[in-house]
Structure 1
Amino acid sequence: MKKAVIYTRVSSEEQVKGNSLSEQQLKCRYFIKSKDGDITGVYVDGGRGGETKERPELQRMLEDAKKGIFDAVVVYKIDRLSRSLRDFLEIQDYLANLNVELISVSETYDTSTPQGRLFVNMLGSFAEFEREQIKERINMGQIASMKKGNWKGSPPYGYDVKNKKLAINKKEAEIVKRIFKIFTDNYGSVDRITIKQAQKIVNGWNVPTKRAYDKRFKKTIPNYWHTSSIYSIIKNPIYTGNTFIRKITKNTNPKIDVKKVIRPKSEWIPLSVPQVIADKTFEKCQIVLRKNSEFALRKGKPESETMLNKLVYCSDCGKKFHICNRVSYNQEYKKAVYYCKGIKNPIRERRCYAKSFISTRLEKPLWEKLTEIITRPEVLNKYVNRQLEGETREENQYKTDIQELEQSLQEARLKKERLFNLYISGKNDVVYYKGKEQELTKEEDRFLDKINDLKQSNLLLDGLKRKSLDFGVLYKKLKNNLNLINISYKDKCRITKLLVER
């Protein structure tokens, strides 16, 4: 061994601050000097895990080996080089092909003999086994911490981490409420509020983002909000006070071309945090977003809006009718052909055979009926009042049913917690625990689904009330100059989508 280099590695930043790296390097230096070798370089990967080869100093060392700068690589232990058997064997073969010797200070072996090569492979296998054990212990510790309500990672906007738990940041929470209000004020209206429009409003407030003063994001403009930041806030259920964590995991299936996948519901961990907005506000916001998606004018199709587009449903298969063959007259009135989306189903057995129809066949009689309602508001008021009387009774029933289901859900969760405590204390075996835990999880999911369905129905009732109020505003605007004969097609579309749900 004439020319040798030292490679050292530790996994965490805490170890970097400690003496582990210097101790490894010191023992490697003593070893090389005892063999009368010269130290030509030291490669240090601090805070890097051994499960991958993607480490800057390791890659630099492999590149230098190709240049013939040294004859041997000295490590304190084999697992410092890699904790993956496959990666270790690849590195070993790579160095052997370049006539570079791999030496471990702690483990003595001779790779020139079959016994030595077997011993090295065994060391690599043990290193990989140890890595898997460490990973499992860390995961168990993190899961236990999450079940106690502790937060892992950076907090979402509106919260700070105090004593490992989320606490409300009052200034940021007010901004969150204002962002949600932008969308909920638009609930039940045909005037869409898009994420892009909301972005302009929020940037006009001149408030800092979460990353504004974070040193890790030096290039971030403090008061500039991206659309993705606003979208992540209004789609995050954590602001309602109850959410699930540990829902996403890395994809290990090579057949699926995505980086992350959703875990099974049984592996999700419920988390309760201080509430920023009401459940109803969040659900209203989700309905507004869904309506935005349904009635959005797609890129490249600026003239795709018609009176009943995405409001007509097929009576055979239940899918929406879409439009094709749009024809414009005097840049005002349009004639289109409506067709069922189900006719394009590639599976013959599921294909729909509903006939297409020209838009005038439905739009003309519908508009005549709507004109009668608009010119005679007492007809609409009578209908709406009759509907709302029944809906008030239904709404009260919905609230009672939701309260009963939430109580049953709480009881199921308490049973699950008691079962876990009995298992921890050793009174139940693992087979009984897993079987019973799966039953309780299914019961919990069933209650959650029923609660969500009832809340959704309740919101639809609320939507009709809001639509009635919106119509009143619209009528007041039009009553002074209500010329429904020469009304533009665009205004016809707006009024129709305000009054017609489906």
Structure 2
Amino acid sequence: MKKVVIYARVSTAEQAEEGYSIDAQIDTVQRKCELENRQVINKYIDRGISGKSIEKRDALKRLLKDAEKEEFEEVWVWKTNRLARNHLDLLKIVDKLSKFNVDFKSCSEAFDTSTPTGKLMMNLLASVGEFERETIVENVKMGMKQRAKMGKWNGGIVLGYRSIKFGQDKEKTRLEIIEEEAEIVRMIFELYASGRGLRSLVNHINQLGYKTKKGNMFAIATIKEILQNPIYIGKIRYNRMQNWNEKRRKGKNSNPIIVEGEHDPIINTDLWNKVQKIYKERSKKPIRNFSGSYPLTGLLKCPECGSSMVAGVTKKKRKDGTYNVHKYYYCGNWRNKGIAACHSNSIRKDNIEETVFKKISEVLYDKSILEDLVIKINKKSKEIIKPLENQLNHIERELRALETKKSKVFELYEDGIISKQDLAERLKETAQKIETELLKKESIQRQLNKTTSDPIDYHVIELLMSKFNNILHEASVEKKKLVLNLIVQKIKVNPDRTLNSIILNFDHKTKRYLVNEEDESAIDSSSFNVSLEINFK
């Protein structure tokens, strides 16, 4: 009897559809495996995750890792789109499985990847599936675009308005003014029109205690978005970003749809025009009177609020007309949200950078410190792994007991001891318990994936630290910044601005980057993951 595993996935949107539910997929595949005389030894489940890419699918990564260990012979799914919606991703996954002598099978599509004909059939079905998905996406986009051209709201949250349903059709919505929030919007426009700068405006609004739609403090970016949103003069703006998923903010559309909306305006056109004129004048880039990079931006953490620290300068004019420039790292919260959020907590750029790079070098060249760090890592890893493995074993026993209970409930129904209603209620209760245990199992497996069970070799850490140190002292500014962001998780600072600790993280990607290993596959199942915390007294 062949040993097989089941892979199931459901996205957030699909969770509402009974046919796509995890239980439905598992039951269908399990019955098919029984008919085919297969022994199901494990189930890998990704919940609430899109099949568009494989990046965030922890269960799939575990499956590939276990396939490499040759723990099973086949992977079964309900449909091919459960494994991947993207044709290229599907081919990569199936190709990787075949390298480990693992076949791929689907309950809904009759093909067998162990044969050339089956592989051809899989390619054809995957191409059709991807075409269907892209067609649905395109049709939805067209519908939303047409709604926008008619002045209708396409959804989303915006300060000053709420979306309400109206009429007989439950799908029809329109925007309604929330007067309490509209007052904040008017205040923002009026203060900016009166000459307030963005930072001053943010500071003022936050000190008054006003909050955004999500209950957060206002930031400069939030204020900018409000000042540039034509929704507040009764217009609908749509398609401001093109191909948002692929390009994000780089895909800005120079000609978005802007039409008269069905909703009431919050501010008048004169105030809007005045604000846009001022904003345009202030948006001209000023001449920079200083140069240089800030490699620790985002890595340094504010000693007061813990937010990332950002670049900043102070300039003082000398008698000869030149400027005395001092470079600092400031609290990002203070910079973006003002004194109501935090204080500047400024740190001299040159001082902190010299200290950080010097401390990293000291650790590298002091063998006893590095050895002690490696011993602590391995000890901590053991302390973490053992309890997690015990919890996992307990959950596995619970799941087996629940599956047995489920079978017994069916037997009671078949013997006429319980009614159909009792059967449904008991199965529902058992399914909920199984769901809870599976969620616990996934959480523990994610933690185990982040913690390597094999002892870390001192020489591996020494090599990585050496390469890291070389880059810090010899590489270009751009490369130095890239590597710092890859490896340094955070740099903590004491209230007196002295260095508290540096937390480094080396995983398979950074390891490969530092030692120039070849990327054998787009899907890496390596579990190498080391967190190194360097503390300073």
Report the TM-score when normalising by structure 1: 0.52
Pair 1:292–1:158, CA change in 2 (3 A): same
1:138 aligns with 2:133: no
Corresponding residue to 1:229 among 222, 232, 248: 222
Q: For residue 235 of structure 2, what is the aligned residue in structure 1?
A: 242
Equivalent residue runs for 1:332-411 within 5 Å: none
- Say whether the 8 Å CA contact 1:149–1:165 is kept in structure 2: no
Q: For residue 207 of structure 1, what is the aligned residue in structure 2?
A: 210
The code of the aligned residue for 2:50 comes to G
Q: For residue 275 of structure 2, what is the aligned residue in structure 1?
A: 285
- The superposition leaves residues 345-400 of structure 1 with CA deviations (integer Å, 9 ceiling, x where unpaired) of xxxxxxxxxxxxxxxxxxxxxxxxxxxxxxxxxxxxxxxxxxxxxxxxxxxxxxxx
The code of the aligned residue for 1:285 comes to V
- Say whether the 8 Å CA contact 2:33–2:39 is kept in structure 1: yes
- Say whether the 8 Å CA contact 2:202–2:220 is kept in structure 1: yes
Pair 1:296–1:86, CA change in 2 (3 A): closer
Whole-Å separation in 2 of the counterparts to 1:148 and 1:209: 28
Pair 1:258–1:281, CA change in 2 (3 A): same
Q: For residue 166 of structure 1, what is the aligned residue in structure 2?
A: 175
Q: For residue 179 of structure 1, what is the aligned residue in structure 2?
A: 188
Whole-Å separation in 2 of the counterparts to 1:20 and 1:155: 29
Whole-Å separation in 2 of the counterparts to 1:76 and 1:250: 30
1:276 aligns with 2:279: no
Whole-Å separation in 1 of the counterparts to 2:35 and 2:239: 51
Whole-Å separation in 2 of the counterparts to 1:295 and 1:116: 60
- Say whether the 8 Å CA contact 1:10–1:16 is kept in structure 2: no
- Say whether the 8 Å CA contact 1:250–1:259 is kept in structure 2: no
The code of the aligned residue for 1:120 comes to M
Pair 1:63–1:295, CA change in 2 (3 A): closer
- Say whether the 8 Å CA contact 1:194–1:292 is kept in structure 2: no
Corresponding residue to 1:197 among 197, 200, 224: 200
Pair 1:10–1:269, CA change in 2 (3 A): farther
Q: For residue 57 of structure 1, what is the aligned residue in structure 2?
A: 59
Pair 1:31–1:176, CA change in 2 (3 A): same
Following TM superposition, by how much is the alpha carbon of 1:252 offset from its aligned partner in structure 2, in angstroms? 9.5
Equivalent residue runs for 1:60-79 within 5 Å: 60-79=62-81
Q: For residue 336 of structure 2, what is the aligned residue in structure 1?
A: none
Q: For residue 25 of structure 2, what is the aligned residue in structure 1?
A: 24
- Say whether the 8 Å CA contact 1:241–1:275 is kept in structure 2: yes
Whole-Å separation in 2 of the counterparts to 1:207 and 1:328: 41
- The superposition leaves residues 457-485 of structure 1 with CA deviations (integer Å, 9 ceiling, x where unpaired) of xxxxxxxxxxxxxxxxxxxxxxxxxxxxx
The code of the aligned residue for 2:208 comes to W
Following TM superposition, by how much is the alpha carbon of 1:264 offset from its aligned partner in structure 2, in angstroms? 6.4
Can you give the 5+ residue segments of structure 1 that lack an aligned partner in the other structure? 187-192, 213-221, 302-325, 337-502
- The superposition leaves residues 116-155 of structure 1 with CA deviations (integer Å, 9 ceiling, x where unpaired) of 2222221122212222222223223323433444323422
Q: For residue 93 of structure 1, what is the aligned residue in structure 2?
A: 95
Q: For residue 13 of structure 2, what is the aligned residue in structure 1?
A: 13
- Say whether the 8 Å CA contact 2:6–2:43 is kept in structure 1: yes
Can you give the 5+ residue segments of structure 2 that lack an aligned partner in the other structure? 166-172, 292-315, 324-537
- Say whether the 8 Å CA contact 1:147–1:270 is kept in structure 2: yes
The code of the aligned residue for 2:275 comes to C
The code of the aligned residue for 2:259 comes to P
Q: For residue 152 of structure 1, what is the aligned residue in structure 2?
A: 154
Following TM superposition, by how much is the alpha carbon of 1:93 offset from its aligned partner in structure 2, in angstroms? 0.4
- Number of aligned residue pairs: give it: 289
Whole-Å separation in 1 of the counterparts to 2:285 and 2:85: 53
Following TM superposition, by how much is the alpha carbon of 1:204 offset from its aligned partner in structure 2, in angstroms? 2.0
The code of the aligned residue for 1:231 comes to K
Pair 1:209–1:68, CA change in 2 (3 A): same
Following TM superposition, by how much is the alpha carbon of 1:299 offset from its aligned partner in structure 2, in angstroms? 6.2
- Say whether the 8 Å CA contact 1:250–1:260 is kept in structure 2: no
Whole-Å separation in 1 of the counterparts to 2:189 and 2:111: 66
- The superposition leaves residues 291-337 of structure 1 with CA deviations (integer Å, 9 ceiling, x where unpaired) of 44459685649xxxxxxxxxxxxxxxxxxxxxxxx9975x7xx699x
Whole-Å separation in 2 of the counterparts to 1:176 and 1:199: 12
Whole-Å separation in 1 of the counterparts to 2:322 and 2:27: 84
Moved more, 175-184 or 29-38: 29-38
The secondary structure found in structure 2 opposite 1:107 is coil
Moved more, 149-158 or 122-131: 149-158
Equivalent residue runs for 1:120-139 within 5 Å: 120-139=122-141
Following TM superposition, by how much is the alpha carbon of 1:50 offset from its aligned partner in structure 2, in angstroms? 3.1
Pair 1:259–1:205, CA change in 2 (3 A): closer
Moved more, 17-26 or 202-211: 17-26
- Say whether the 8 Å CA contact 2:8–2:44 is kept in structure 1: yes
The secondary structure found in structure 1 opposite 2:137 is helix
Q: For residue 3 of structure 2, what is the aligned residue in structure 1?
A: 3
Pair 1:115–1:151, CA change in 2 (3 A): same
Following TM superposition, by how much is the alpha carbon of 1:3 offset from its aligned partner in structure 2, in angstroms? 2.0
Whole-Å separation in 2 of the counterparts to 1:63 and 1:231: 46
Pair 1:328–1:287, CA change in 2 (3 A): same
The secondary structure found in structure 2 opposite 1:157 is coil
CA RMSD, 1 decimal:
3.2
The code of the aligned residue for 2:81 comes to D
Following TM superposition, by how much is the alpha carbon of 1:73 offset from its aligned partner in structure 2, in angstroms? 0.7
Report the TM-score when normalising by structure 2: 0.48
Whole-Å separation in 2 of the counterparts to 1:243 and 1:235: 12
Q: For residue 363 of structure 1, what is the aligned residue in structure 2?
A: none
Larger radius of gyration: 1
Q: For residue 218 of structure 1, what is the aligned residue in structure 2?
A: none
Moved more, 11-20 or 53-62: 11-20
